[in-house]
Structure 1
């Protein structure tokens, strides 16, 4: 359909004013009245609370990267290290759409506060964890709450900001999110070196409490967000818990396969092959379940009838799947190849921090002013692809000028692109689908990160060991796996150290190559987007129908 097409609105989902060929009939319902948006101090303080909450969520995605060596020292084992990040990404990805349904069928404010509380409980468990299993459980619980916080933050902004202000404020949230993503390794290094790795999680408790207090006293559920009048049974069915369980099971199979294939078993072993087959089979069941559940599905098939949503879902997956591996492995380059401390690797990562922040802010401002997102999206994805390609050229002696410049270039690219899928998705849907679209796009972004993070970890370890064995078969594979990036200079010496560094560099290049391919696919997907201006007039609350 085109810009002027008629939007079908069911009686159970009264629409706000939608641009159509016909006249709009106002039935006097709360969702049909002209919304009154918070202004001035109230809007500012709400945005601050949401930015704080998103900062913590994004921080938890990467803060553990530089803390893992300290954690493994205390828990004396590396066999479960992969789960420290994967447990968080799996639950935050799998429950995104579930939270979207919760925001649609339960009060917005109460649901958001519940999500923050769950995240806080998970963080407390992580901070107090006596062993690896407790830490993994805490990470999974924190991810469950984080899914609700991320979906809820953008949903609240969508209801709190007028259409012309929405892209700019979404950009502010994006700055907080992106800033925390790339600042995480630095903060994790500071806590691990100077205090304790446990403060990587304890820090969430006081900051999260501030966000809870602000939302509790300053945000009020707008009439437009009023839950639909359905039975509790129907609300539970709408969450598609079977779909969530199937997706988690499939993802666990994939992660276990990639971890076992890193050295414990061969890739052709019955256990690894069985897990891969299980992943494909369960994923097929999940797709069938989503189709059967229709409007009750965690990923509602209906929304992909619109080309805009289909393209933005693909782009969001590519952004998440390329950005997070780079955020994790650039600090590892500095720690392993250059021998820097966790703190200094975080400091060297600051060019990307600043560039991502700048990119997010600029993208939100440009789209807010012009409504034209297509050129910004293509330019940003192209720039990120080139930037990832330049990161691939890192070697054992890369100069400061190059690693600073390449990080800036790639950071601007990812920053410009990061929020566009959400801005476009929210700007081109009916108000009744706002929470659903938000959660769905965040699901694809998070799930892309979950799958790619596991995949690149396996690729990094396998290719690193392969290269080292080629150069010096006498080096112990077990010792390589058990030695962290910060310890290779202590464990290996002379010619062996040089061989290990070459192996690390080879593994890192494979990671960057995967990032290049992933963001490059995102660019190709973006070519299929509709070339329509994003409608941001104050009178139109449900935007373009592509």
Structure 2
């Protein structure tokens, strides 16, 4: 039997009774969301250890896209194994925010999971690179909806004052996946087949779907979303999609190619960079023209906390991503660790971020204020990023563990509070406000960064390692810059309490 928790607002001059799921029912809804997000997080990094075997398999098969790849993007074939996923993920985040506004949130979420599962099936059964890349793109499309739906369904299932704890579980799930994914990917590849990296999504995703179907029953949508198809299609406006998606794709192509495959001044970098930038500026112009009917109504960014939290999470999460990507490479390339060892070496960052996210969630729930956690988090992240630039080839264990702890404190305390801020200051715009901070395009190509030790003689190796280490620590300056900006914008956040803000009217039976 489904149980509900009834909340009677006292501060609203026109009181309404809000009904939320509780007990086992709430637990199963959260479990469905967590399983879905865990699969998405797993999918982002699990193939890193499997890519060599994937390319070996496809090189032994007649690849129908080989002629095209040879002509235009052969150097990028492996890179697209990851980039195809992140391209569709980034491009469709805002569009899903609109879909959740106009359609039943349960239906949109379930379709997103189905799309993700289809992408996983395509990857697991791929017979060539083209099919595999297409599967990754489809999975990214589904993942965009799952990640957007996580926060939105939480908003429909919990009163505002209880959300920070559960919103922090989002970071916890991603952190757990960051720990498990490389180990699981290597295990599947060594002991079975890399295809299990994707087949594992099918049964787990099926469980998540069943839980969502039987235990999540929002009823507010019948009155909120009673619109005709003509009204919906008019407000969706395909023009925005046709401008935004190519803009994101063009920008990502330029960032992926520039300085790695082609020089930054090469026309193959400049053309997508310019066209992508123009398209995104056009998208911004359309929002100004359409106002409240746009995908991102400009009035949302007139709310100070939304504007600041969007910039904050872009910078803070971007700084964290620098370490999530480069730390394993630093341990492998500079300190000579193997894949398994490097996975254990980054545990202070991954586990620390998970634990501090939960601590921050409890802290916000107890105090009611998220702003101090964002400020302190950005300060710790900036400090840790700055200290990481001082690492040397022979840096002792205590040094790199200590720096990672500082980084994890910063990321754990601050990043997820941006979502809480958006939900506190916005009501009916929650679906749009919560997907804006999550837009993240700072994903980098995997590369052969660990092979230097095997290519140089012993007399040249120390000098080369010093130079290589300098290249890594200079890369950490990106995180320093981003963390500094996060600290600055956190000072612009309003001091709003989740205990004093009324959540939107939602009823769940």
Residue 344 of structure 1: aligned partner:
341
Quick one: distance in 2 between partners of 1:407 and 1:258? 27
Out of 179-188 and 35-44, give the one that drifted further: 179-188
Identify the residue that residue 26 of structure 2 maps to in structure 1. 43
Q: What residue in structure 2 maps to residue 91 of structure 1?
A: 88
Question: Given that residues 91 and 249 in structure 2 are in contact (C-alpha distance below 8 angstroms), is that contact kept between their aligned partners in structure 1?
Answer: no
Contact 1:290 1:297 in 2 (8 A): yes
1:436 and 2:432 correspond: yes
CA 260–36 in structure 1, closer or farther in 2 if over 3 Å, else same = closer
Please give the alpha-carbon distance, in whole angstroms, between the structure 2 residues aligned to 1:289 and 1:296: 10
Partner of 2:443: 453
Shift in Å, 1:378: 0.4
Distance 1:171 1:267, change over 3 A: closer
Is 1:356–1:415's contact at 8 Å kept on the other side of the alignment? yes
The CA deviation string for residues 252-272 of structure 1, in whole angstroms up to 9 with x for no partner, is 323332343335433223332
- Counterpart in 1 of 2:468? 504
Q: How does 1:204-219 map to 2 (within 5 A)?
A: 204-219=201-216
Structure 2: runs of 5 or more not aligned: 1-7, 60-73
Q: Distance in 1 between matches of 2:36 and 2:338?
A: 29
Query: Paired residue for 2:188?
Result: 191
Question: Greater CA deviation, 150-159 or 91-100?
Answer: 91-100
Q: How does 1:400-415 map to 2 (within 5 A)?
A: 400-415=397-412
- Asked whether the 8 Å contact 2:370–2:420 carries over to 1, the reply is no
Distance 2:500 2:384 in 1: 32
SS in 1 for 2:393: coil
> What's the CA shift for 1:186?
3.4
Change over 3 Å in CA distance of 1:191–1:278 after alignment to 2: same
Summarize the Cα distance change of 1:223–1:255 in structure 2 as closer, same or farther, 3 Å threshold: closer
SS of aligned partner of 2:226? coil
Distance (Å, rounded) in 1 between the aligned partners of 2:57 and 2:332:
20
Displacement of 1:54:
1.2
Residues 159 and 225, structure 1, Cα contact 8 Å, conserved in 2: no
Structure 1, 397-406 or 177-186: larger mean CA deviation: 177-186
In 2, Cα distance between the equivalents of 1:498 and 1:74?
A: 36
Find the counterpart in structure 1 of residue 68 from structure 2. none
Distance (whole Å) between structure 2 residues aligned to residue 90 and residue 240 of structure 1: 21
Cα distance in 2 for residues equivalent to 1:234 and 1:495: 72
- The alpha carbon displacement at 1:47 in A equals 1.0
Whether contact under 8 Å (2:172, 2:358) holds in the other structure is yes
Shift of 1:493: 3.6
Cα distance in 2 for partners of 1:94, 1:255 equals: 10
Deviation string 1:206-264 (CA, Å, 9 cap, x unpaired) is 21111111111111123267542222133234334432332332233233323433354
Cα distance, 1:496 vs structure 2: 4.9
Q: Which residue of 1 aligns with 2:67?
A: none
Partner of 1:29: none
Confirm whether residue 376 of structure 1 aligns to residue 366 of structure 2: no
Alpha-carbon contact 1:341-1:486 (below 8 Å) kept: no
Structure-2 separation of matches of 1:493 and 1:199: 39
Within 2, Cα distance between the matches of 1:18 and 1:132? 59
Instruction: List per-residue Cα deviations over 1:36-92 (Å, max 9, x = no partner).
Output: 111111111111111111111122223233333433444457532332332222222
Establish whether residue 71 from structure 1 lines up as the match of residue 54 from structure 2. yes
Whole-Å separation in 1 of the counterparts to 2:229 and 2:87:
27
Q: Do structure 1's residue 248 and structure 2's residue 238 form an aligned pair?
A: no
Aligned match of 2:4? none
Q: 2:44 aligned with 1:61, yes or no?
A: yes
Q: CA deviation at 1:495?
A: 4.0
Cα shift readout 1:329-379 (whole Å, capped 9, x = no counterpart): 111112212222222211212121210111100110000011111111100
* CA shift digits 1:83-102 (9 cap, x unpaired): 23322222222212211222
From the superposition, tell whether residues 254 and 370 of structure 1 become closer, same or farther in structure 2 (CA, over 3 Å).
Answer: same
Question: 1:360 corresponds to which residue?
Answer: 357
Contact 2:152/2:434 (CA < 8 Å) preserved in 1?
yes
| CA deviation string 1:108-156 (max 9, x = no partner) | 2111111111111111212222333322221221111111111111111
1:222 aligns with 2:212: no
Aligned to 1:235: 232
Q: Deviations over 1:161-190 (max 9, x none)?
A: 122221112222331133224543333333
**TM-aligned CA distance change 1:414 to 1:194, over 3 Å:** farther
Change over 3 Å in CA distance of 1:127–1:497 after alignment to 2: farther
Change (3 A) 1:276 1:499: farther
Contact 2:104-2:225 within 8 A present in 1 as well = no
User: Contact between 1:128 and 1:198, CA under 8 Å: does it hold in 2?
Assistant: yes
> CA 1:326–1:239 in 2, change beyond 3 Å: closer, same or farther?
farther
In 2, the alpha carbon distance for the partners of 1:208 and 1:173 equals 17
Runs of 4+ in 1 over 6 A off after TM superposition: none
The aligned runs of 1:85-484 (5 Å cut-off) are 85-223=82-220, 226-430=223-427, 432-443=428-439, 446=440, 450=441, 452-454=442-444, 484=448
Deviations 1:505-526 (A, max 9, x none): 2332232111111121111111
